[in-house]
């Protein structure tokens, strides 16, 4: 440490010691200097919660970081979307779950005490209606989370550009790219309309590591996620003047029903050439196998990436803690897209 820094530190320590001694003299009931120090530390709890619990701040109560905010989560009935919806509700948000799976969406909304709206994000009328109803019900919109997405078919033919199915390619882009664009459009209208100098709001999208580098997903899916990352940056440029932040999250592999079913589809084709339907629910055994595969590919060892980790990232980008973060792609991949150990480090 440089001399000037040492001097400044010592001056600060002496100042605090003098103040504590004065407090002790005028408040004898506070006890000795050790008790006094503990008294003052306890009086100023860490805003992140008690981090002494083996570093697990999430295990103890924390302030509600989205208290009173109105949030829409598309694709919120299961997987990452469900985890985000649960996280937002836990932190005090008034959440609207938007999905095409009415049964799962309504059941989840009922369990969380929030609202469900049927919404196909590739249909503009659905997106517009969902936003309008949220504003009519709650008076405003603070957070819009573009989470709905599809992976597309995982057959060998679907992964080869020479045998690409144009209709399948278009379907994936309509949901993943156009769907996100429509969400941004109608969320921006609602947020800008608030005006009054307050304005503001957060639009966040769930992209993918497939939008960061090649070789991480099928062609259509990769193209759609690159489009989403680019769209995020461009829309952030436009909406910044209204105080609206636009960001995205790019996860590595999370064992959601969508990813597990895609993996099953590939395995089934290799075994019997009889692909499984995308809607088939994942069992705990399949989830464990998928997580094992992802752990084997991961750069960061000793951690299993789960939907709750993406929900934590979404919470940060939705909350005021990220008030000066916009146009950012928050990559949650344990270093996979930035670090490739080719020389055996």
CB 326 within 8 A of CB 335: no
Q: Find the mean pLDDT for residues 200-220.
A: 94
Q: What CATH number did the domain enclosing 136 receive?
A: 3.40.50.720
Residue 190 sits in the same domain as residue 88: yes
CA distances from 93 to 47, 144, 246, 283 (A): 19, 12, 19, 31
- Residue 272 in any domain: the answer is yes
* Residue 201 sits in the same domain as residue 250: yes
In the chain, the DSSP E strands lie at 70-74, 94-99, 115-118, 143-146, 201-206, 244-251, 329-332
**Residue 281 and residue 156 share a domain:** no
Whether pLDDT at 169 is above 90:
yes
- Total domains, the chain: 2
pTM to 2 decimal places:
0.76
Is 202 a domain residue? yes
User: Using an 8 Å Cβ cutoff, are 294 and 307 in contact?
Assistant: no
Domain assignment present for residue 269? The answer is yes
Question: Cα(74)–Cα(179) distance, rounded to whole angstroms?
Answer: 10
Inside any domain, residue 143: yes
Residue 27: is its pLDDT beyond 70? no
Q: CA-CA distance, 257 to 150, in Å (whole number)? A: 11
* 335 pLDDT more than 50: yes
- With a cut of 70, say whether residue 209 has pLDDT above it: yes
Among 56-60, 88-92, 169-173, 283-287, name the one with the lowest average pLDDT.
56-60
User: What is the pLDDT of the chain when averaged over all its residues?
Assistant: 81
Determine, yes or no, domain membership for 343.
Answer: no
291 and 309, same domain (yes or no): no
Q: Give yes or no: residues 313 and 217 share one domain.
A: yes
pLDDT of 86 above 80: yes
Q: In this structure, are 313 and 298 located in the same domain?
A: no
Quote the pLDDT of residue 37: 34
Residue 171 clears pLDDT 50, i.e. is over it: yes
Domain match, 183 and 286 both: no
Average pLDDT estimate for 64-80: 96
The reply to whether 104 and 217 lie within a common domain is: yes
Closest CA to 120 of 112, 107, 135, 130: 130
The DSSP letter of residue 299 is S
DSSP per position, 41-110? HHTS--TT--TTTTT-GGGS----TTTT-EEEEETTTSHHHHHHHHHHHHTT-EEEEEES-HHHHHHHHH
**pLDDT surpasses 90 at 49:** no
| Residue 140 confidence (pLDDT) above 80 | yes
| % of the chain surpassing 90 pLDDT | 58
Looking at residue 272, what is its pLDDT? 53
Q: Is the same domain home to 122 and 183?
A: yes
In a domain? residue 15: no
Residue 215 belongs to domain spanning: 62-254+305-332
Q: Is residue 81 part of a domain?
A: yes
- In this structure, the answer to whether residues 233 and 202 fall within a common structural domain is yes
- What are 324's two structure tokens? 């000066």
pLDDT at 277: 46
Mean pLDDT of 321-335: 96
CB-based contact 305:327 (threshold 8 Å): no
Say yes or no: 144 and 261 in one domain.
Answer: no
Asked whether 212 and 337 are in contact (CB, 8 A), the reply is yes
Closest Cα partner for 160 from 219, 116, 200?
219
In a domain, 184, yes or no: yes
Please check whether residues 182 and 272 belong to one and the same domain. no
Give the active site residues. Answer: 221
Tell me: pLDDT of 21 over 80.
Answer: no
Q: What is the pLDDT of residue 259?
A: 62
Buried residues in 188-224 as b, exposed as e (16+ CB within 10 A): bebbbebeeeeebbbbbbbbbbbbbeeebbbbbbbbb
pLDDT of residue 235: 98
């Amino acid at each position: 440490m440089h001399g000037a820094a040492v001097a400044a530190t010592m001056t600060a320590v002496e100042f605090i010691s003098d103040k504590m001694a004065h407090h002790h003299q005028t408040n004898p009931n506070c006890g000795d200097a050790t008790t006094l120090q503990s008294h003052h530390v306890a009086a100023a709890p860490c805003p992140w919660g008690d981090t002494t619990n083996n570093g697990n701040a999430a295990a103890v109560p924390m302030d509600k970081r989205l208290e009173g905010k109105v949030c829409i989560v598309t694709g919120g009935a299961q997987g990452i979307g469900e985890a985000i919806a649960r996280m937002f509700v836990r932190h005090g948000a008034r959440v609207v779950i938007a999905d095409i799976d009415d049964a799962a969406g309504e059941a989840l909304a009922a369990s969380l005490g929030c609202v469900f709206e049927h919404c196909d994000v590739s249909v503009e009328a659905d997106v517009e209606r969902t936003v309008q109803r949220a504003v009519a019900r709650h008076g405003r919109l603070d957070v819009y989370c573009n989470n709905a997405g599809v992976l597309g078919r995982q057959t060998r033919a679907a992964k080869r550009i020479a045998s690409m199915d144009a209709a399948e390619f278009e379907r994936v882009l309509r949901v993943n790219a156009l769907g996100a664009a429509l969400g941004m459009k109608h969320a921006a209208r609602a947020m800008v309309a608030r005006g009054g100098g307050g304005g503001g709001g957060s639009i966040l999208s769930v992209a993918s590591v497939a939008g960061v580098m090649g070789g991480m997903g099928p062609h259509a899916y990769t193209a759609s996620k690159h489009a989403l990352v680019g769209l995020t940056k461009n829309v952030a440029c436009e909406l910044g003047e209204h105080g609206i932040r636009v960001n995205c999250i790019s996860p590595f592999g999370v064992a959601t029903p969508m990813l597990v079913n895609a993996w099953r589809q590939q395995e089934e084709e290799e075994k019997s050439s009889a692909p499984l339907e995308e809607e088939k629910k994942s069992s705990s055994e399949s989830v464990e196998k998928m997580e094992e595969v992802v752990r084997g590919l991961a750069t960061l060892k000793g951690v299993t990436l789960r939907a709750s980790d993406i929900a934590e990232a979404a919470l940060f980008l939705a909350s005021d803690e990220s008030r000066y973060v916009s146009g950012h792609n928050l990559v949650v991949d344990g270093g996979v897209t930035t670090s490739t150990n080719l020389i055996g480090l």
